[in-house]
């Protein structure tokens, strides 16, 4: 089925009351009613047989069924019904939802298509469906979905570790993921959300977080509808220590085209989603195979396993390739202890490398399995090793089959975790099935293997710092934000000063005489810039002068005003800002950007002329804390300059953190009233951090 992509404008970022439905009755109903024909639907019939509760069919034409009783109307059914499955035309769906509401049926899955995915008429039906279900208190999965939420996934006895809970917003793209059972990935449940008229991905993240049978959570997501609900669900997953892996598509540039500030151009909903994922330890992947294999590693691996790997194969070439791919993902491949190598060479020929990677040259596979398993024991006993990765690159008959059987036999009593790769397209060899039956995480490429190991390591590091971020919002009296548009320079300074943001010493003047007086008072080398909402970026149009001597301030005032009049005779001129010109330090950017999809986000990055050239920024949705800001800075290229490159004194990072935290507090307090804020540059010296230039844009609402 086709599936609606959630547009950014549909997402509410400011919802305060969390929607936490109890879905136990949905998935374990005491009675089920099915509306619509199931003739020829063998898969559906098998699912209904497995409910373990009474199932009733309703068809106005009546009829007979060997499996389930058939009724002409819902009111004829006397038993308890917790779930309705609706497989009818859209107009009929609305009538049935109303009937279910009057009967007190609390849950419904709407299989039917023909809603928002087909255009305006279908969207109107969907809006009515949502309103009607809300009126009756019915929780709805769908419409335009399938019934895979009730599909049973058999778990073989050889499965090791936990199971995966899967959420997809595409039925078709979910099928190849659950087919990952052929490599040993196994699932508790697969929920395809369809159009998400009511229940959405965030609800099911929470459901799997609270589900004892689900060890990890995987999602194929096109768009999130409620950002606040998503954060709440991710916090729940964090509290239950459930790793979340998401393939998130549908990134958008919506809003960037009309942005005024640098921050507005650099921050879009997708970058804010990335920021939220970073705050809550979510692994983001880019393809279906990576989603399945990464989630499977999380499900099978216990916590707190180190990332130092031993690479074992029957080929020197495979070992070399494994080493290179591992290094590209930052996975450590340490040399084995000299004594370990000496012992290994009593099994493996002296001309083969055993330092790590370990190459048994394939000839060793002719030895007894007892001795081959002893080699794995020796490798695992090395104190430099946390995990063994066995790479089977090509299917070459007995040698690869025997190596797979070694993994099968050894994994049952292994002292350290083992991962295996089967890189060949040929999967009909006995070795492949033996590898799967070993129950260890199996990968089809070195790339996915080491990328997943990197994600696992990142998640373990994140677990040590996970926390809930308290809100920084406070009452804010800011009348300058009540008029949409660019805020004047004087009002912007007042807004920032009130928020506790340090500013460079400055004065706004409106005449040549005032300019001369102010320049003399400030002293030193000065910067002068024309203040007008018509020119948000002064340096681009010649309205900024640097290195001004106080004696020249009056003349430069006249030149700037004349230049502005030449550019736009109708432009409103608020005066000229005269400011101390600071030297040295590192130029940074600190900004805020509000989007209806994701709320207000904080952006930190390289400032000055390098802002859009380097695109060196980090984004986090609010709220944030001081540690968030330190983590954002640490991930930037410019972090090395702040630390003091080439003998320079380190910049005052803590002063910068306090400045950015004051900006974040302002953003959370202002909400949508502050559409954009750009502090660029913020100069960070060894002594302090101060905003040198600021641009504020008020939003269109006071929410």
Fold assignment, 8-141: Rossmann fold (3.40.50)
Banded pLDDT at 1 (limits 50, 70, 90): very low
Task: Determine the average pLDDT of the residues in 603-610.
Answer: 88
Residues 147/49, Cβ–Cβ less than 8 Å:
no
pLDDT for the residue 440: 97
Asked if residue 472 lies in contact with residue 623, where contact means CB atoms within 8 angstroms, the answer is yes
Stretch 150-169: mean pLDDT:
94
DSSP letter (8 states) at residue 653: H
Helix (H) or strand (E) holding 366: none
Which residue in this structure is represented by tokens 């398993």? Answer: 373
What is the number of other CB atoms lying within 10 angstroms of the CB of residue 78? 8
Residue-wise pLDDT for 231-247, tens only, equals 999 999 999 999 999 99
User: What is the pLDDT confidence band of residue 41, given thresholds at 50, 70 and 90?
Assistant: low
Above pLDDT 70, what percent of the chain? 93
Residue 42: predicted pLDDT: 65
Q: Give tens-digit pLDDT for 119-148.
A: 899 999 999 999 999 999 999 999 999 888
How confident is the model at residue 268, as a pLDDT?
58
pLDDT tens across 198-257, in order?
999 999 999 999 999 999 999 999 888 899 999 999 999 999 999 999 999 865 554 444
Fold annotation for 151-300? Rossmann fold (3.40.50)
- Rounded to the nearest integer, the mean pLDDT of the chain is 91
Residue 613 binned pLDDT confidence (cut-offs 50, 70, 90): confident
Mean pLDDT over 631-642 rounds to 95
What is the percentage of the chain residues whose pLDDT exceeds 90? 80
509-571 folds as Dna Ligase; domain 1 (3.30.1490)
151-300 and 470-504+582-703 share one fold: no
443-447, 489-493, 593-597, range with greatest mean pLDDT:
443-447
pLDDT of 39 strictly over 70: no
Confidence band of 570 (pLDDT split at 50, 70, 90): very high
Asked if CATH classification 3.30.2320.30 holds for the domain at 470-504+582-703, the reply, yes or no, is no
**pLDDT at 92 exceeding the cut of 90:** yes
pLDDT at 249: 85
pLDDT at 277 over 80: yes
Ordered DSSP codes for 146-199: -SGGG------TT--S-EEEEEES-HHHHHHHHGGGGGT--EEEEEE-TT-SSS
Are 432 and 405 in contact by the 8 Å Cβ rule? The answer is: no
Q: 549-577: buried (b, 16+ CB within 10 Å) or exposed (e) per residue? A: ebebbbebbebbbeebeeeeeeeebbbbb
Instruction: Write down the pLDDT at residue 251.
Output: 58
Residue 688's closest CA among 636, 652, 663?
652
Q: What per-residue confidence (pLDDT) applies to 18?
A: 66
Look at residue 59 in the predicted model and tell me its pLDDT: 86
> Where is pLDDT greater, at 61 or 458?
458
Helix (H, G, I), strand (E, B) or coil at 623: coil
Q: What is the tens place of the pLDDT at every residue in 329-340?
A: 999 999 999 999
| Boundaries of every domain in the chain | 8-141, 151-300, 309-452, 470-504+582-703, 509-571
Q: Which long-range contacts (CB under 8 A, 24 or more apart) does 60-67 make?
A: none
Among 635, 637, 692, 683, which Cα is nearest to 656's? 683
The rounded radius of gyration (Å) of the Cα atoms in the chain is 31
Question: Which superfamily does CATH assign the domain made up of 309-452 to?
Answer: Succinyl-CoA synthetase domains (3.40.50.261)
**pLDDT value, residue 246:** 98
Helix (H) or strand (E) holding 521: helix 512-522
Q: H/E element holding 21?
A: none
pLDDT (tens digit per residue) in 652-668: 999 999 999 999 999 99
- pLDDT band of residue 701 (cuts 50, 70, 90) is low
Confidence of residue 177 (pLDDT cuts 50, 70, 90): very high
Asked if pLDDT for residue 636 goes beyond 60, the answer is: yes
Report, as an integer, the average pLDDT of 43-64: 81
User: Does 375 score more than 90 pLDDT?
Assistant: yes
């Amino acid at each position: 089925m086709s599936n609606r992509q959630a547009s950014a404008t549909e997402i509410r970022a400011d919802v305060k009351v969390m929607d936490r439905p109890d879905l136990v009755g949905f998935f374990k109903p005491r009675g089920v009613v099915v509306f619509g024909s199931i003739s020829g639907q063998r898969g559906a019939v098998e699912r209904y047989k497995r409910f373990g509760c009474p199932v009733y069919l309703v068809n106005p034409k009546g009829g007979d069924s060997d499996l389930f009783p058939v009724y002409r109307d819902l009111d004829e059914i006397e038993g308890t019904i917790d779930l309705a499955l609706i497989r009818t035309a859209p107009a009929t769906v609305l009538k049935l939802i109303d009937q279910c509401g009057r009967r007190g049926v609390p849950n419904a899955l709407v299989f039917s298509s023909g809603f928002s995915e087909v255009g305006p008429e279908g969207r109107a039906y969907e809006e009515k469906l949502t309103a009607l279900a809300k009126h009756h208190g019915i929780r709805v999965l769908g419409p335009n979905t399938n019934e895979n939420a009730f599909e049973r996934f058999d778990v073989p006895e050889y499965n090791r570790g936990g199971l995966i809970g899967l959420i997809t917003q595409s039925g078709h793209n979910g099928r190849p993921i659950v087919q990952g059972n052929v490599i040993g990935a196994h699932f508790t449940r697969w929920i395809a959300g369809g159009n998400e008229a009511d229940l959405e991905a965030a609800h099911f993240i929470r459901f799997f977080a609270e589900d004892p049978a689900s060890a990890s959570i995987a999602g194929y997501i096109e768009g999130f509808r409620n950002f606040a609900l998503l954060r709440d669900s991710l916090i729940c997953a964090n509290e239950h220590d459930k790793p979340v892996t998401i393939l998130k598509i549908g990134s958008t540039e919506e809003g960037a085209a009309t942005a005024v500030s640098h921050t507005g151009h650099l921050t879009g909903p997708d970058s804010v989603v990335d920021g939220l994922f970073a705050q809550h330890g979510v692994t983001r992947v880019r393809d279906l195979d990576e989603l399945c294999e990464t989630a499977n590693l999380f499900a099978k691996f216990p916590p707190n396993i180190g990332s130092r790997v031993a690479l074992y194969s029957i080929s020197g070439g495979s070992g070399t390739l494994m080493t290179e791919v591992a290094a590209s993902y930052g996975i450590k491949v340490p040399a084995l202890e000299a004594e370990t190598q000496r012992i290994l060479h009593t099994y493996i020929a002296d001309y083969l490398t055993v330092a790590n990677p370990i190459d048994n040259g394939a000839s060793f596979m002719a030895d007894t399995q007892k001795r081959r398993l002893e080699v794995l024991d020796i490798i695992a006993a090395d104190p430099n090793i946390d995990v063994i990765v066995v790479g089977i690159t090509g299917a070459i008959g007995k040698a690869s089959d025997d190596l797979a059987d070694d993994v099968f036999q050894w994994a049952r009593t292994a002292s350290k975790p083992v991962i295996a790769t089967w890189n060949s397209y040929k999967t009909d060899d006995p070795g492949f099935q033996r590898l799967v039956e070993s129950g260890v995480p199996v990968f089809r490429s070195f790339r996915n293997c080491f990328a997943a190991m990197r994600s696992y390591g990142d998640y373990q590091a994140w677990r040590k710092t996970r926390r809930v971020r308290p809100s920084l919002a406070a009452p804010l009296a800011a009348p300058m934000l009540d008029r949409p548009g660019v805020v004047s320079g004087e009002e912007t300074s007042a807004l920032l000063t009130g928020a506790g943001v340090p500013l460079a010493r400055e004065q706004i003047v409106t005449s040549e005489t005032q300019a001369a007086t102010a320049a003399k008072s400030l002293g030193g080398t000065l910067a002068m810039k024309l203040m007008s909402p018509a020119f948000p970026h002064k340096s681009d149009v010649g309205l900024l002068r640097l290195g001004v001597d106080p004696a020249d301030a009056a003349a430069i005032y006249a030149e700037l005003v004349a230049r502005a009049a030449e550019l736009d005779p109708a432009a409103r001129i608020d005066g000229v800002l005269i400011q101390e010109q600071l030297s040295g330090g590192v130029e940074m950017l600190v900004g805020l950007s509000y989007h209806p999809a994701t709320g207000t986000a904080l952006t930190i990055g390289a400032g000055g002329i390098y802002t859009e050239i380097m695109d060196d920024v980090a984004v986090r949705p609010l709220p944030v804390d001081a540690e968030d800001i330190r983590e954002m800075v640490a991930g930037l290229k410019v972090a090395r300059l702040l630390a003091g490159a080439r003998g320079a004194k380190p910049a005052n990072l803590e002063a910068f953190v306090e400045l950015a935290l004051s900006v974040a507090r302002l953003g959370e307090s202002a909400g949508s009233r502050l559409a954009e804020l750009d502090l660029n540059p913020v100069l960070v010296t060894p002594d302090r951090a101060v905003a040198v230039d600021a641009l504020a844009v008020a939003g269109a609402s006071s929410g």
